[in-house]
Amino acid sequence: MMNDMVQFFRQKLGSSIYSGLQGQPNPQQISFIRQLQKELKEKNNLDTPLNVLKVVVFDLETTGFYPEKGDQVLSIGAVKMTGQHVDFDDTFYSLVKSDLPLSEEISTLTNIHEHQLRDAPPARDVLMKFFKYTQSHILVAHHSKHEKSFMQKITWDILRSRFEHRIIDTSFLFRLSNPLVISSPLEDICRECGIDIKDRHNALGDAIMTAQIWGYHLQIAQRQGYSNLREVYEHLAKL
């Protein structure tokens, strides 16, 4: 019964789940986003040596898989990296405000509860803080199509702006060793890489594990002789 109610509210709100609650972005926010988009277009990360490449590894916890059908972001977690080194002291985490009912299944999986979402910062505040944290760095995610679809949706609904960041999936580096690899669940990849599984289905916990996976495979790429992302892209394009 509860799941039916949650689905009803999602379908009722549909694609306007954020936009109707946020109002219009203010001039300062618009100015920041425009400047960020300019930097993203001008910045060349493809030729940066892999050992000094700066990325932000991030993860979203959401109510489901379909932002266009009303599923929403519950939390965002991220951590910065330089090369294969994870900066555990420079992280980002926030819940995202919502007054919608949360299914027991999602609450149990993520350990996020309705009262926490009611008291959380509004989506626009979280999104602006996240963009200020990421700046113009490349973003990395595990199963990144999920993160990309939600970021495109929430950025448009709230800021009336396109999501312009480059997102690289972890499988990008996996394919150097096995071109036919199909990306597995995060915990399976962690076991393969010898990474401790901690705080699974917490956005920051998953981001940190994803960062360690990225670092593990980045070292393999460097040992194979790749110097930068452009060389990796060019190699994979030939496969």
CATH number of domain containing 161? 3.30.420.10
Query: Where does the pLDDT of residue 182 fall: very low under 50, low under 70, confident under 90, or very high at 90 and above?
Result: confident
Residue 21 lies in a domain: no
Looking at this protein, which amino acid is placed at residue 122? P
Higher pLDDT, 220 or 15: 220
Compute how many other C-beta atoms are within 10 angstroms of the C-beta atom of residue 131: 18
Q: Is the pLDDT of residue 4 over 90?
A: no
Q: Is 94 left (phi over 0), alpha (psi -120 to 50) or beta?
A: beta
Count of residues for the chain? 239
Please indicate, yes or no, if residue 198 is contained in any of the structural domains. yes
Whether 172 maps to a domain, the answer reads yes
The residue range of the domain holding 208 is: 2-12+50-237
In a domain, 6, yes or no: yes
Residue 110 has pLDDT above 50, yes or no: yes
- Give the three-state DSSP class for 176: helix
Give CA 9 to chain center in angstroms. Answer: 25
Q: Tell me the C-alpha distance between 126 and 145, whole Å.
A: 21
Determine the pLDDT at residue 118.
96
Output phi, psi for 82, to 5 deg: -125, 115
* 61-98: pLDDT as tens digits: 999 999 999 999 999 999 999 999 999 999 999 999 99
What pLDDT, on a 0 to 100 scale, did the predictor assign at position 85? 98
Instruction: Report CA-CA distances (Å) from 203 to 59, 61, 78, 117.
Output: 5, 6, 8, 14
Q: Of 130, 129, 165, 131, which Cα lies nearest the Cα of 45? A: 165
Q: What is the pLDDT of residue 17?
A: 56
Structure confidence at residue 239 (pLDDT): 82
User: Quick check: is 42 in a domain?
Assistant: no
Please, which pLDDT band fits residue 212 given cuts at 50, 70 and 90?
Answer: very high
**Nearest to residue 139, comparing CAs of 92, 197, 189, 205?**
92
Please tell me the total count of domains within the chain.
Answer: 1
Domain assignment present for 25: no
Query: Tell me, what DSSP letter sits at residue 64?
Result: S
pLDDT of residue 188: 95
Instruction: Say if 33 falls within a structural domain.
Output: no
Residue 41 lies in a domain: no
